[in-house]
Amino acid sequence: MNKAQLVEAIADKVGGRQQAADAVDAVLDAIVRAVVGGDRVSVTGFGSFEKVDRPARYARNPQTGERVRVKKTSVPRFRAGQGFKDLVSGSKKLPKNDVAVKKAPKGSLSGGASATVKKAAAKKATTAKKATARKTTAAVKKTAAKKTTTAAAKKTTTAKKATAKKTTATAKKVAAKKTTAKKATAKKAPAKKATAKKAPAKKSTARKTTAKKTTAR
């Protein structure tokens, strides 16, 4: 059965050939897009479609027997569900007035149960990943906040140290200027005293001259 025959087979059930063609196209497109995106499409009682990665390997050319390296690739894979297998093997009979894979036949729910378990496990894994991502984000934020606070504290300490250094240097300069001024004042003071001592000597000379003049008379 090809696609056209499949459309004809379901045309009466969906209200016409065009509706059947649209339905088939929509279903196939959804399956293909999901598998290409890495999702697993599972239909209870029918089977599942999934993407399988094949690593790089060596193979033999069937015509020449030459060893050929095959690159890494991905291929689609279909696994029939237990209900489908039971119907094909004949262990279960096809329903006459119902859809064959509408639900899994009784006694063959292993495929559906397995899919349910896998979905539950996937949900748990996703939830765990989200929780881990949130914790990691919170830890990163806390670390960033600590670093910012530490950097601000370091800047403040550095600024205080720089201010203290400037204040100390200014105080030292003022003290040095005062010391220099005191030394200069101390040096100038003896000079004045020496000048004051010399003055009386001149008076003595004047007295001697007066005495000489008196004697001469």
Dump pLDDT digits (tens) for 193-209.
444 445 454 555 545 55
Q: Inform me whether the pLDDT recorded for 103 exceeds 70.
A: no
115, burial (CB in 10 Å: exposed 0-12, middle 13-18, buried 19+): middle
Q: Inform me whether the pLDDT recorded for 121 exceeds 70.
A: no
Question: Nearest 5 degrees, angle CA 119-CA 86-CA 23?
Answer: 65
Most confident of 14-28, 124-138, 161-175: 14-28
Contact 54, 72 (CB under 8 A): yes
Distance (Å, whole) CA 79 – CA 41 = 10
Domains of the chain: 3-53+72-133 (4.10.520.10)
What string of H, E and C letters represents the secondary structure of 26-78? HHHHHHHHHHHCCCCEEECCCEEEEEEEECCEEEECCCCCCEEEECCEEEEEE
Least confident of 100-109, 154-163, 165-174: 100-109
pTM confidence score: 0.44
pLDDT of residue 187: 61
